[in-house]
């Protein structure tokens, strides 16, 4: 059984952090903007939201997903643009590189998993 090659994933993740997340966090900190609320909003009467759908249907399992990294980047950029997160949308290629590296690493691990470890006693 081979160990996981983390180098192939580490570089794109480091770039994602250094070139995207860190500058955004530094800018937000300088502007005293919080990424997430740190306390409840007292103006809301309740945080409870009634779900529109209480059980899944077969259509829930048939929704489209991203067929490749390019489509993933496109949909993520559209989502961030719709939320007004233009700074994130501009750097979506970094997320795509990290996703591609993670996918390749997962495929490599899956190929390794197909081999039976010499440390496992197989009874069949």
pLDDT tens digit sequence for 65-83: 788 889 999 999 999 999 9
Residue 26 has pLDDT above 90, yes or no: yes
In a domain, 3, yes or no: yes
**Which three-class secondary structure state does DSSP give residue 108?**
helix
pLDDT tens-digit profile of 50-67? 888 889 888 888 877 788
Cα–Cα distance for residue pair 115/44, rounded to 1 Å: 55
Q: Is the whole model's pTM more than 0.85, yes or no?
A: no
Cα–Cα distance for residue pair 57/45, rounded to 1 Å: 32
Q: State both tokens at 70.
A: 């390019």
In a domain, 66, yes or no: no
In a domain, 32, yes or no: yes
Cα–Cα distance for residue pair 7/81, rounded to 1 Å: 32
pLDDT tens-digit profile of 28-45? 999 998 888 888 888 988
Residue 121 has pLDDT above 80, yes or no: no
Q: 111: pLDDT confidence band, cut at 50, 70 and 90?
A: low
Domain of residue 93, residue span:
1-36+86-112
Averaged pLDDT score across all residues of the chain = 84
In a domain, 77, yes or no: no
In a domain, 5, yes or no: yes
H helix intervals, the chain:
7-16, 22-30, 69-82, 86-90, 92-113
Could you give the number of structural domains in the chain? 1
In a domain, 45, yes or no: no
Question: How many CA atoms within 13 Å lie on the side-chain side of 45?
Answer: 1
**Angle 98-103-106 from CA coordinates, rounded to 5°:** 125
In a domain, 91, yes or no: yes
């Amino acid at each position: 059984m081979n160990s996981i090659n983390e180098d192939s994933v580490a570089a794109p993740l480091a770039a994602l952090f250094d070139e995207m997340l860190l500058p955004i966090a530094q800018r937000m900190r300088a502007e005293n903007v919080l990424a997430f609320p740190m306390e409840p909003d007292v103006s809301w009467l309740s945080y409870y939201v009634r779900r529109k759908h209480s059980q899944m249907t077969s259509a829930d399992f048939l929704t489209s997903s991203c067929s490749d990294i390019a489509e993933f980047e496109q949909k993520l950029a559209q989502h961030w643009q719709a939320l007004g997160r233009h700074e994130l949308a501009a750097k979506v290629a970094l997320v795509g590189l990290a996703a591609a590296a993670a996918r390749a690493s997962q495929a490599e691990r899956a190929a390794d998993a197909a081999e039976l470890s010499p440390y496992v006693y197989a009874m069949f």
